[in-house]
Amino acid sequence: MAYSDKVLDHYENPRNVGTFDKSDEQVGTGMVGAPACGDVMKLQIRVNDAGIIEDARFKTYGCGSAIASSSLVTEWVKGKTLDEALTIRNTQIAEELALPPVKIHCSILAEDAIKAAVEDYKNKHTG
Partner 1 sequence: MSTRPIYFDYSATTPVDPRVVEKMIPWLYEHAGNPASRSHAYGWEAEEAVERARDQVAALVNADPREIIWTSGATESNNLAIKGAATFYAERGKHIITAKTEHKAVLDPCRELERQGFEVTYLDVQENGLISMDALKAAIRPDTVLISVMFVNNEIGVIQDVAAIGELCRSKNIIFHVDAAQATGKVAIDLQTLKVDLMSFCAHKTYGPKGIGALYVRRKPRIRIEAQMHGGGHERGFRSGTLATHQIVGMGEAFALAQLEMGTENERIRMLRDRLWAGLSQIEEVYLNGDMEHRVPHNLNVSFNYVEGESLIMAIKELAVSSGSACTSASLEPSYVLRALGRNDELAHSSIRFTIGRFTTEKDIDFAVELLKARVGKLRDMSPLWEMAKEGIDLNSVQWAAH
User: Distance between CA atoms of 33 and 56, rounded to whole angstroms?
Assistant: 19
Contact between 101 and 93 (Cβ < 8 Å): no
Q: Around Cβ 124, how many Cβ atoms within 10 Å?
A: 17
CA-CA-CA-CA torsion sign (19, 23, 24, 27): positive
Catalytic annotation present for 63: no
Q: Which of 27, 45, 53, 66 binds partner 1 (CB under 8 A)?
A: 66
19 to 38: interface string for partner 1, x by CB under 8 A: x-----------xxxxxxxx
DSSP letter for 62, please.
Answer: S
Q: Tell me the closest approach of the beta carbon of residue 107 to partner 1, in angstroms.
A: 12
If the CB atoms of residues 32 and 73 are measured against partner 1, the closer one turns out to be: 32
Q: Is 111 in the site for partner 1 (CB under 8 A)?
A: no
Q: Which of 59, 78, 115, 124 binds partner 1 (CB under 8 A)?
A: 59
Q: Is 61 in the site for partner 1 (CB under 8 A)?
A: yes
Q: Is 88 in the site for partner 1 (CB under 8 A)?
A: no
Dihedral-angle region of residue 38 (phi above 0 means left; psi in -120 to 50 means alpha; beta otherwise):
left
User: Distance between CA atoms of 27 and 54, rounded to whole angstroms?
Assistant: 10
Residues in contact with partner 1 by CB under 8 A are 1, 3, 11, 14, 17, 19, 31-42, 59-64, 66-67, 102, 105, 108-109, 112
